[in-house]
Amino acid sequence: MEREKSLIKSVSFGLAILFGMIIYAYGFNVTKVNFETTRSEKRLTQLSRIMRALAHPSLFVYEKEELEVMAPIYLPCPKTQVQIHNPDTSDSYLILTPNCAGPGEIITVEGYNIWPNTKGPINFLALSGVNLTIGNLQSDANGYFKAKVKLPKRQPVDVAQMIRVLPRRNIGNPEFSDVAKSTWDKIIETVFLALLATTFGTLLAIPVSFFAARNLMSSQKSPLTNVAFSTIGWPLGILIGLQTALTFKSFVIQLFVEDVLIRSSIGSVLGIGLTWSVIQWLFPKKQDQSNLRKHKIVQSVTVILCVLISILTIYMIANLALVLGQVLIEPLGPIGFVGNFISQLGDVLIMVLPAATALLGGGTLGLAGNKLGQYVSDHMSPQVIKITNICATALAGAVIGGILGNTIDWFYQLDNPQQTLYLPMSIGAILGALVSLRISHKHPIPIGYVTYYVTRTILNATRSIEPLVMVIVFVVWVGIGPFAGSLALALHTIAALAKLYSEQVESIAPGPLEAVRATGANRLQTIVYAVIPQIIPPYISFTMYRWDINVRMSTIIGFAGGGGIGFLLQQNINLLDYRAASVQMLAIAIVVATMDYISAVIRERFV
């Protein structure tokens, strides 16, 4: 029995090894492993040529001076006696042996009294004025050199043509080459590209990460009524928010057709003052709970008014920044880019504000829907809740169906409202009503889990696409250049960091969370007081790591048109200018190593 077992064991072990061999054999076949190529002489010379070029980055250039020495050559040897060349032996001179030869024949060139220890080309100057390099010279300490060169195959000419040597030597101090200068420009661009991508990616990844953290989301459960009402509230709020923002935008633009600077300055100051005083009125220094309660409706109305005023004010400020920045560019002179920065910030604000307002509107109405639903399920009789539920879920289903249908219509341009609007809406409504009939009204819906899975899926899908691929879409959108690269990197950073962050949130100690919840803190307070203090060190650490990754990514994002140093690198590789490519590689290595060092220092300081 024992022996049989050990036999089976050895046989299966042998089979496992065989199986492994087959897998690797197939792997070799698929990846076309061929070590013979690594030894072939031709490839080895090419390899050494490239390696030597890479080891000589063309960082510096010298001003050069040349010495021109010539000697006549006959190609081919003429029929008549040729005039013998008698150079002045006190100066530099060349001796050609023989001084006439047929096309393609080899002659010896010897030089005397050349500059010692210099290099330079040996040229053949044809009668037609064509200049061919046929070899190189390398003089010794005495200024002598000897080289064998092959004459070119050219049309026979009777008169003498010329062999010329041009030994060169450096004069003066070394200077940075053009390659080094353009590499410097591009590496700065690269670093800032990575900086912007990391900053914006991080800012957006933080809120997203909370939605992708299982431990925060798993406890979020709401009755069906809440879910239904907030599902209706969100899109409605988004629409209202978007509409409000766009109305304000056109209003501001109309208001500031002329005297833009003065008018928008006055508007901004007024707006800030008004918002400030309303906030002061809303939250007086001395808090009186009972007093606040009484004016709940007044309070809500003022809050809404306050938000509207601030949106308008932000538009005016953005407009001011946009114009002021442009005005500032001229007088600021060398730091005119600051003016451009202010102007661009204003532009970004104008661009982002509708989205932010839409989100705010959606959030507000979603929350209001949630509250309303909570009120209904707390205070109404079961029958009323049931009927409300059926209506609300049917409506919510119709809204979801309508949104889905519209999305499909946008992508595939079906232009058939029968199919893309009415059908999905009615299916959604029926499904919604069915759900509300099936689920008891007290049963909590794990809305947190739904959010968690949706967020995770979107993050994973986004993360799986490399920025190098993403940049293609952005290049189409905003044109070739570093802006497209930073957008692509920022998007990828959001997805990657949100995942890493959310895993950090998942691994925090649950105790403090429990303790803060027990004090009566609401959801947001729990996050601020129990979650955030725990996740700050890993967040900083991951952000630094991502900044490191982004610097490395941004060095190659130029390959796809995303700006940065990658563009130069690719260009030089394609031009086979390995010495220039070497400069760019060196720059990348220096930047990445420096980044690594800096991030280590920062991490040590904070973590």
User: What is the maximum span of the chain, computed from C-alpha positions, in angstroms?
Assistant: 127
Residue 378 interacting with another protein (CB under 8 A):
yes
Residue 517 interacting with another protein (CB under 8 A):
yes
Q: Contact letters (x/-) for another protein, 336-375, by CB under 8 A?
A: --------------------------------------x-
- Of 45, 588, 448, 19, nearest in space to 11 by CA: 19
- Of 331, 357, 355, 354, nearest in space to 342 by CA: 331
Residue 522 interacting with another protein (CB under 8 A):
yes
Judged by beta carbon, residue 495 or residue 530, the one nearer another protein is 530
Q: What is the DSSP string of 402-447?
A: HHHHHHHHHHH----HIIIIIHHHHHHHHHHHHHHHHS-TTSEE-H
3-state secondary structure 285-328: CCCCHHHHHHCHHHHHHHHHHHHHHHHHHHHHHHHHHHHHHHHH
Judged by beta carbon, residue 254 or residue 289, the one nearer another protein is 289
Q: Which stretch binds another protein (CB under 8 A): 172-180, 311-319, 394-402, 510-518?
A: 510-518
Binding residues for another protein restricted to 279-298, rule: CB under 8 A: 283, 287
- Of 213, 216, 214, nearest in space to 205 by CA: 213
Q: Which stretch binds another protein (CB under 8 A): 79-87, 265-273, 529-537, 551-559?
A: 529-537
Measured between alpha carbons, how far is 601 from 536 in angstroms, rounded to an integer?
A: 16
Residue 576 interacting with another protein (CB under 8 A):
no
Residue 76 interacting with another protein (CB under 8 A):
no
Measured between alpha carbons, how far is 318 from 348 in angstroms, rounded to an integer?
A: 8
Measured between alpha carbons, how far is 384 from 387 in angstroms, rounded to an integer?
A: 5
Among 265, 462, 534, 571, binds another protein (CB under 8 A): 534
Shortest approach of another protein to residue 378 CB, angstroms? 5
| Cis bond before residue 76 (omega within 30° of 0) | yes
Judged by beta carbon, residue 159 or residue 518, the one nearer another protein is 518
Contacts 24+ apart (CB under 8 A), 555-560: 555/190, 555/588, 555/591, 555/592, 556/468, 557/193, 557/467, 557/468, 557/471, 557/485, 557/488, 557/489, 558/186, 558/485, 559/468, 560/468, 560/469, 560/471, 560/472, 560/475
Q: Which residues contact 251 (CB under 8 A, 6 or more apart)?
A: 312
Residue 525 interacting with another protein (CB under 8 A):
yes
Residue 449 interacting with another protein (CB under 8 A):
no
Residue 140 interacting with another protein (CB under 8 A):
no
Q: Length of the chain, please?
A: 607
Among 227, 317, 358, 530, binds another protein (CB under 8 A): 530
Among 519, 575, 593, 597, binds another protein (CB under 8 A): 519
CA atoms lying within 13 Å on the CB side of residue 265: 6
Radius of gyration of the chain (CA): 38
Residue 276 interacting with another protein (CB under 8 A):
no
Give backbone dihedrals phi and psi of 155, rounded to 5 degrees, phi first: -60, 140
Judged by beta carbon, residue 113 or residue 222, the one nearer another protein is 222
Among 515, 575, 593, 601, binds another protein (CB under 8 A): 515
Judged by beta carbon, residue 39 or residue 286, the one nearer another protein is 286
Judged by beta carbon, residue 148 or residue 286, the one nearer another protein is 286
Residue 518 interacting with another protein (CB under 8 A):
yes
Judged by beta carbon, residue 64 or residue 442, the one nearer another protein is 442
DSSP conformational letter for 256: T
Binding footprint of another protein, residue count (CB under 8 A): 25
Binding residues for another protein restricted to 95-124, rule: CB under 8 A: none
Measured between alpha carbons, how far is 555 from 588 in angstroms, rounded to an integer?
A: 7
- Residue 343's SS3 state is helix
Measured between alpha carbons, how far is 90 from 110 in angstroms, rounded to an integer?
A: 15
Shortest approach of another protein to residue 606 CB, angstroms? 11
Shortest approach of another protein to residue 223 CB, angstroms? 10
Among 10, 44, 514, 593, binds another protein (CB under 8 A): 514
- Of 483, 504, 484, nearest in space to 546 by CA: 504
Among 351, 537, 575, 597, binds another protein (CB under 8 A): 537
Q: Which stretch binds another protein (CB under 8 A): 58-66, 93-101, 210-218, 519-527?
A: 519-527
Structure tokens at 305: 């008014």
Q: Which stretch binds another protein (CB under 8 A): 172-180, 344-352, 387-395, 532-540?
A: 532-540
Q: Which stretch binds another protein (CB under 8 A): 181-189, 346-354, 530-538, 545-553?
A: 530-538
Among 76, 87, 143, 512, binds another protein (CB under 8 A): 512
Judged by beta carbon, residue 454 or residue 607, the one nearer another protein is 607
- Of 529, 536, 537, nearest in space to 513 by CA: 529
Judged by beta carbon, residue 483 or residue 529, the one nearer another protein is 529
Shortest approach of another protein to residue 510 CB, angstroms? 9
Report the DSSP beta bridge partners of residue 147: 109
Judged by beta carbon, residue 140 or residue 378, the one nearer another protein is 378
Among 520, 574, 604, 605, binds another protein (CB under 8 A): 520
Shortest approach of another protein to residue 547 CB, angstroms? 23
Interface with another protein by CB under 8 A: which residues?
A: 283, 287, 374, 378, 509, 511-512, 514-522, 524-525, 528-530, 533-534, 536-537
